[in-house]
Structure 1
Amino acid sequence: MTLISRSRPATSLMPGVLPGAVLGSGLAAAAAITGLLRRDKPLHPVGHHGTGHLTVTDPAPDLGIEAIARTGTRPCRARWSRAMGLPQGWPDIEGLALRLEGAAPDGGDADLLFASTGSRAWNRYLLTMRGPGHFGRVTTLLPVRAGGRAVTFRLSPQPELPDVLPDQLPPSSYALEVARGTGGWERVGHVDVAWAEDDTSDRFDPVTHPLAGLEQYAFVTGLREPAYVAARAVARARPTTGGHHHA
């Protein structure tokens, strides 16, 4: 699948860019070295892709995010993966990328990236490891600005899962929730995905494919983007077939 290239949103050199860029450069170097040594994508090397829909049932128009401002359904694509690509049987960070069709400021597609974290106010910004067959709540980890304040998104499997689902594809339905600052989670709708065994070569990036109504904090942009650039530069996507075990 070929994606249409879009211009990168302008980011002014406001406070926060430089510290984030310094840390981001270190992450970029680590990602590049990992990819070259493994001869594949350094981040999220193997996964499953899926297609589905986001259905908004409890809109939050005050946040100014078009995709969740009113009730309705829009198509989406998704990719589930283990972030570090550690050997089979090892715990890893669960990752889920979501692409919402027509949700970008220019009418194109927009991306959100989720990872396994805690769900409380004190640990929702901390990554957590999950063992093979374990699926759970995933959040956008780093906050974005919407409606004049920090906002974080969360996907929660529906219904609640048993402790482990060995040799299963990811959950097919998630509640989509949003938190304002460190406040409680508010459900806005649900995401339903039909997962495939195979993978996709799509690249997901919330900085270059932003959701209309969201603004990336300068520090977050400086932290994330160098690692994305390095990962794409050394990426050699692998198919999910051929004996790779993902869950």
Structure 2
Amino acid sequence: MTDRSPQSLAGALPGVLLAAAAALTGLLRRDKALHPVGHRGTGRLTVTHPAPALDVEALTRAGTRPCRTRWSRSMGLPRGWPDIEGLALRLEGAGPDGGDADLLFASTGGRRWSRYLMTLRGPGRFGRLTTLVPARAGGRAVTFRLSPQSEPRDGLPPTTYALDLALGTGDWQPVGHIDVTWVEADTTDRFDPITHPLTGLEQYAFVTALREPAYVAARAVARARPTHGERPHA
């Protein structure tokens, strides 16, 4: 059934505009419109500070689980230019019915208000990333943050990130950390928190209406005009 709530309708128009921009960019580039170049990684999430009140199954108890990651330059601007840093996190078995679940992070500011604003970073620069827009868990708005805990090497992203969460515009609270082994090669995996939700985490209708059309358009263009040859490293 189509969601016709006011929140969904409010996100529909900007969502369609973003989708059109993504499709045009992909057609001109002959590649993925969003996050075209990146590095893949494998690792694990370790939860050290469970948050059972959120009722997000993957965070209710201490422990570890496998994860896959992809770091990327979001807009695919020419090498040497600043770009928005992106990191996709896939938690294995953390979705409904035991499926995988995705979280998407982007480089943002460090203050209470700027955690919702994307920030450009220069080549070889890595920093804090947040999920940018809140989702709902346990009846509260929640945002997640990744903060590098190790130095990058050989042009690859840091191998350890602290994972924190914030309720509303509140202070960041520790959750755990992820440890990643990166390689220069990229991956064709598609990460999407709308179609691969984290069990217990619900996207607001406005966010779904805003983001999903752009993802659909980008995937359609990539299928229609796949890249030939090797992509440059990020």
Q: Is TM more than 0.5 here?
A: yes
The structure 2 residue matched to 1:62, chosen from 53, 61, 65, is: 53
Kindly indicate whether the alpha-carbon contact (under 8 Å) linking 2:129 and 2:145 is maintained by their aligned counterparts in 1: yes
Relative to the length of structure 2, the TM-score reads: 0.95
Relative to the length of structure 1, the TM-score reads: 0.90
Distance 1:243-1:233 versus aligned 2 partners, 3 A rule: closer
Residue 123 (structure 1) aligns with: 114
Residue equivalent to 1:220:
207
Tell me the distance in 1 between the aligned counterparts of 2:227 and 2:174. Answer: 35
- Aligned mates of 1:41, 1:176 — CA distance in 2: 28
1:131-155 per-position Cα deviation (integer Å, ceiling 9, x unaligned): 0000001000010001111000000
Aligned to 1:168, the other structure's residue is in SS state coil
Residue pair 2:76, 2:83 contacting (<8 A) in 1 also: yes
Q: Aligned with 1:136: secondary structure?
A: coil
Q: How does 1:140-219 map to 2 (within 5 A)?
A: 140-159=131-150, 161=151, 167-219=154-206
| Runs of 4+ off more than 3 Å | 236-239
Conservation of the 8 A alpha-carbon contact between 2:184 and 2:233 = no
Across the aligned residues of Structure 1 and Structure 2, the Cα RMSD in angstroms comes to 1.6
Q: Which runs of 5+ in 1 are unaligned?
A: 1-9
Q: What residue number does 1:45 align with?
A: 36
User: AA paired with 1:169?
Assistant: L
- Identity between Structure 1 and Structure 2 (%): 72
Contact preservation (8 Å) 1:11, 1:218: no
| Structure 2 residue ranges without an equivalent (≥5) | none
Asked whether the 8 Å contact 1:133–1:166 carries over to 2, the reply is no
Cα displacement (A) at 1:120: 1.6
> 2:6 is paired with a residue of what secondary structure?
coil
* CA shift for structure 1 position 228: 0.3
